[in-house]
Amino acid sequence: MTSAPLYTFNRSEELMSRARQVIPSGIYGAKNPANFVPGSYPVFLTTGEGCRIRDVDGNEYIDFLCSFGPIVLGHRHPKVEEAALAQASRCDSLNLPSEKWVELAELLVSITPVADWAAFAKSGSDVTSGALRMARAHTGREKVIAASGSYHGWHDWCSPIPTGIPAAERALVATFPYNDLEALKRVAAENKGQVAAVILTPFRHDFFRDEELPAPGFLEGVRALCDQEGIVLVLDDVRAGFRLDLGGSWEPYGVRPDLILYSKAVANGYPLAVALGREELRRAAESVYFSATYWSAAVPMAAAVATINTLREEGGIEQMRAMGQRFRDGIEQQASSLGLAITQSGPPAIPFMTFVGDTGFRRIHLFCGECARRGVFLHPFHNWFLMTAHKERDIDQALAVTEEAFKAVKAQFGG
Ligand code: PMP
């Protein structure tokens, strides 16, 4: 793979110029790596199989972005496809939910220690906003505390870009730096008696920075504060869910939220989101308006049942951890033997890497671009993901590419 000619993207570029004519920005959303590393990434893809994806120019990649998280088992995983196709041959969207509505809720409640009920939606933003509505109904309060820089979706209360959003909406959200318990306590005290929810990602996985696992005592302190002040603690597990622990990403820490929100990996790429809650919040969940036309579609629910069962039966969490560690160890060894200072962060199954002192992200842009042009799909400022389809030979093949990319960084920027 490494000695082959570097990839080119003519068809992608041609499609992008057509897209710009008829779609605002051609592709909206701010995360498309082709915008940041021009000429080194494809813009349009055609197929995915296992851990490999292919673009419209016919280039193949080992995928470490997993569709920004959803692909947890592998693209077109046979067991998920079989379940989805079987369901599609009967029904997807009908007047009323299918039996999968009940079966999936029972499965999720049975594997999630904090959950007594499940409510379904389509996207992460649906459930983060829905959870706040439930917390407000439960507490009779309006304010929310979130960590500054955490991503919770595109809705008015949390969009990272404020354009087009009423200031009054944002005034209800107070922020503090993730892992800073004292700062959180101060914000809670300033808003005493007014805070409905604290919403947190399981660890800090913001764009453009090293990931941070919860500091010792942080989660326990958040839980205690919420208990003391009657605040609903919401775990936004939309991005990390189903890669660290099938009972919720805080289970290894022994800290239990009041609501857990999933989307992305729950159905291996089929559109689905879930809010899971404690008994105490059932009345609030029943009282708020929470609905949409496609929320009960059966195919994604069948895919979710198959995804969760396959992860359980095949030890998926451990497999992703082991392969993520193999990738991390290989990268560490390559960077150190070339004398390049890097930081690897986050859990092995949701890793990220930066170059130390990389002002303007120029080194990581070059590194990821060089990887893409040789067949390894990493993102320069969004965390990476493992999937269970990554096997040792895929990791080793990817490492042969990262080695070339590190050499390119060294050649351009020195050690
Ligand atoms: N929360 C987190 C932690 C996320 O990573 C995302 C999506 N990246 C969302 C919420 C929003 O999900 P969606 O894009 O499906 O609305």
Residue 261 binned pLDDT confidence (cut-offs 50, 70, 90): very high
Whether the CB of 374 sits within 6 Å of ligand 1: no
Instruction: Tell me which of 263, 272, 274, 295 to substitute to probe ligand 1's pocket, judged by most ligand atoms within 8 Å of the beta carbon.
Output: 263
- Give Cα 208 distance to the centre of its chain: 14
pLDDT tens-digit series, residues 344-369: 999 999 999 999 999 999 999 999 99
Task: Kindly report the average pLDDT of the chain as a whole number.
Answer: 96
Rounded to the nearest angstrom, the distance between the alpha carbon of 403 and the centre of ligand 1 is 32
- DSSP letter for each residue of 295-334: TT-HHHHHHHHHHHHHHHHTTHHHHHHHHHHHHHHHHHHH
Q: Whose CA is nearest to atom 12 of ligand 1?
A: 124
Whether the CB of 67 sits within 6 Å of ligand 1: no
Q: Which residues pair with 404 in a beta bridge?
A: none
- Indicate which atom in ligand 1 lies nearest the CA of residue 154: 16
Q: Which residues pair with 144 in a beta bridge?
A: 173, 197
Segment 299-309 shows an average pLDDT of: 98
Whether the CB of 354 sits within 6 Å of ligand 1: no
For residue 30, pLDDT beyond 80: no
Rounded to the nearest angstrom, the distance between the alpha carbon of 239 and the centre of ligand 1 is 6
Q: Which of these CATH numbers, 2.60.200.20, 3.90.1150.10, 3.40.50.720, 3.40.50.300, describes 10-68+315-413? A: 3.90.1150.10
For residue 1, pLDDT beyond 70: no
φ and ψ of 176, to 5 deg:
-150, 160
Is 148 in contact with 179 (CB distance < 8 Å)? no
Rounded to the nearest angstrom, the distance between the alpha carbon of 51 and the centre of ligand 1 is 22
* Distance between CA atoms of residues 71 and 50, nearest Å: 9
* Distance between CA atoms of residues 9 and 58, nearest Å: 9
Whether the CB of 243 sits within 6 Å of ligand 1: no
- Count the neighbouring beta carbons within 10 Å of the beta carbon of residue 252: 12
Q: Whose CA is nearest to atom 13 of ligand 1?
A: 124
Q: Would the pTM of this model clear 0.85, i.e. be above it?
A: yes
Whether the CB of 129 sits within 6 Å of ligand 1: no
Q: Which residues pair with 54 in a beta bridge?
A: 47, 60
pLDDT tens-digit series, residues 199-229: 999 999 999 999 999 999 999 999 999 999 9
Q: What's the alpha-carbon Rg for the chain, to the nearest Å? A: 22
Whether the CB of 383 sits within 6 Å of ligand 1: no
Rounded to the nearest angstrom, the distance between the alpha carbon of 396 and the centre of ligand 1 is 30
Rounded to the nearest angstrom, the distance between the alpha carbon of 275 and the centre of ligand 1 is 13
The number of residues in the chain equals 415
Instruction: Find the range with the poorest average confidence among 14-18, 25-29, 41-45, 200-204.
Output: 25-29
Whether the CB of 124 sits within 6 Å of ligand 1: yes
Whether the CB of 324 sits within 6 Å of ligand 1: no
Whether the CB of 153 sits within 6 Å of ligand 1: yes
* Distance between CA atoms of residues 276 and 192, nearest Å: 27
pLDDT tens-digit series, residues 75-125: 999 999 999 999 999 999 999 999 999 999 999 999 999 999 999 999 999
Segment 5-30 shows an average pLDDT of: 92
Whether the CB of 123 sits within 6 Å of ligand 1: yes
**How high is the pLDDT of residue 137?**
98
Looking at domain 78-313, which CATH architecture does it have?
A: 3-Layer(aba) Sandwich (3.40)
Is 271 in contact with 296 (CB distance < 8 Å)? no
Residue 275 binned pLDDT confidence (cut-offs 50, 70, 90): very high
φ and ψ of 342, to 5 deg:
-125, 165
Residue 14 binned pLDDT confidence (cut-offs 50, 70, 90): very high
Rounded to the nearest angstrom, the distance between the alpha carbon of 152 and the centre of ligand 1 is 5
* Interstrand relation of 232-236 and 259-262 (parallel, antiparallel or unpaired): parallel
Segment 2-22 shows an average pLDDT of: 91
Structure-token pair, residue 153: 């979706």
* Percent residues over pLDDT 70 in the chain: 99
Domain boundaries, the chain: 10-68+315-413, 78-313
pLDDT tens-digit series, residues 116-153: 999 999 999 999 999 999 999 999 999 999 999 999 99
Residue 2 binned pLDDT confidence (cut-offs 50, 70, 90): very low
Whether the CB of 152 sits within 6 Å of ligand 1: yes
- Indicate which atom in ligand 1 lies nearest the CA of residue 263: 15
Structure-token pair, residue 58: 């016919």
pLDDT tens-digit series, residues 46-73: 999 999 999 999 999 999 999 999 999 9
